[in-house]
Amino acid sequence: MPVTSPWIAIVDDDPSVLKALQRTLRVRALLSKTFGSAREFLASLPDGLPECLIVDLQMPEMTGLELHHQLTRSGIHIPTIIITAHSDIRLRERSETAGIFAVLFKPLQNASLFATIDAAARHDAAIKIERGPRS
């Protein structure tokens, strides 16, 4: 089985956000793949799972929360970071209930983004150790 480098999935319907986030992550030498929709991301899953998922809350067809719910229902657990321009206290509550790792508000602050990604990666590694090797 080939060894692959950990990567981060970015899902947003705004191409400028995808490009900016990918550039920002590249500064920290973080490998990322971008997807213009939740459906595009879901179609890529047979190629491997990301270490972390950064997804916009408000997208046409399927929101970031709906994408997270779909993954969870399918038994796929990826630390998910919701990004949004809409400050809504109920969003934090709904996100925590859904098992979202973090919610970050646009405009994103690089230090906060990197700290959240690092924490999500540590969380993902701990979960993988806890589950043990898969047969």
State the CATH number of the domain containing residue 21. 3.40.50.2300
**DSSP bridge partners of 10:** 34, 54
**Residue 40 lies inside a defined structural domain of this protein:** yes
The rounded mean pLDDT for the chain is 90
**Residue 119 lies inside a defined structural domain of this protein:** no
| Per-residue pLDDT tens over the stretch 63-102 | 999 999 999 999 999 999 999 988 777 887 888 889 999 9
**Residue 60 lies inside a defined structural domain of this protein:** yes
**Residue 124 lies inside a defined structural domain of this protein:** no
Q: Report in angstroms the alpha-carbon separations of 96 from 49, 109, 123.
A: 22, 21, 15
What is the residue range of 16's domain?
8-109
**Domain count along the chain:** 1
Angle at 32 (CA atoms; ends 26, 38), nearest 5 degrees: 140
